[in-house]
Amino acid sequence: MSLSDDTLRKILVQIQTTAIQSQRAFQVTQQQASAKDRERRILQLTIDEINQIEEDVNLYKGVGKMFMHVPRKTMEAELKSQEKELSDDISGLAKKSKYLEKQFNDAQAQLRDISLGSYDRSANAFKTALSCLPTTSELSDADKTLKAQYEDYLKDAEANMRREFKVDHVTIPNDSGDVPWKRAMAMDPILIAEGKIQHSVCSKIGFPSHV
């Protein structure tokens, strides 16, 4: 059962919304993962520095505008605990990024499926999708990506529409002697002489006898 244009537009807008949301969430997740990875590297450098300090050296940590003395083992435990927490967060964000990336790719695949359907309806649907995007000055990176993809899909749909209605013409050179009707004309005298036909074959099928 074919979908109406209105239903197709609604489906396209829903897919577009999913694609935009997943792309934006993916970018935010990547930024969060990068920030936490920087924090983890700083912690790892701090742990390495502490390991190089002699055991009898006092260690302090900042508390507001003050510095408080902290036993070495306590500080090492705190830093390792923070490092593990950051590593767990980064691992969770990596899984979330993969999910969001798959969600975005699935939405893009659905858009490609639509573009391979009825070409004229696909073209109208992608025009509608482009009109739903913000103005050029307000486009986010995700919006720009979708805009470029919608424009590509629209071009493909319009190209397929033109190809669908294109009529191929076969041109036969004027001086060509090896064409079906000329071979038939050459047999006319023989067939008429044998009494098998009374009129030219070419005249019967609409070709002039002088061709």
Q: Please write the tens of the pLDDT for every residue from 162-197.
A: 665 554 544 545 555 555 555 555 665 666 666 655
Averaged pLDDT for residues 43-57:
89
Closest CA to 117 of 157, 165, 158: 157
Least confident of 4-8, 63-67, 144-148, 165-169: 165-169
pLDDT value, residue 34 = 94
Phi, psi dihedrals of residue 61, rounded to the nearest 5°: -130, 150
Mean pLDDT of the chain: 75
pLDDT value, residue 18 = 84
117 within 8 A of 126, measured Cβ to Cβ: no
Residue 62 or 210, more confident = 62
Helix axes 72-115, 141-164, angle to 10 degrees: 20
- By CB neighbour count within 10 A (0-12 exposed, 13-18 middle, 19+ buried), where does 156 fall? middle
- What is the value of pTM for the model shown? 0.54
Rounded to a whole number, what is the distance in angstroms from the first to the last CA of the chain? 52
pLDDT value, residue 156 = 76
Length of the chain: 211
pLDDT value, residue 196 = 56
The residues near 82 (Cβ < 8 Å, ≥ 6 apart) are 43
pLDDT value, residue 152 = 79
Instruction: Reply yes or no on whether the pLDDT at 158 is more than 80.
Output: no
Instruction: Reply yes or no on whether the pLDDT at 119 is more than 70.
Output: no
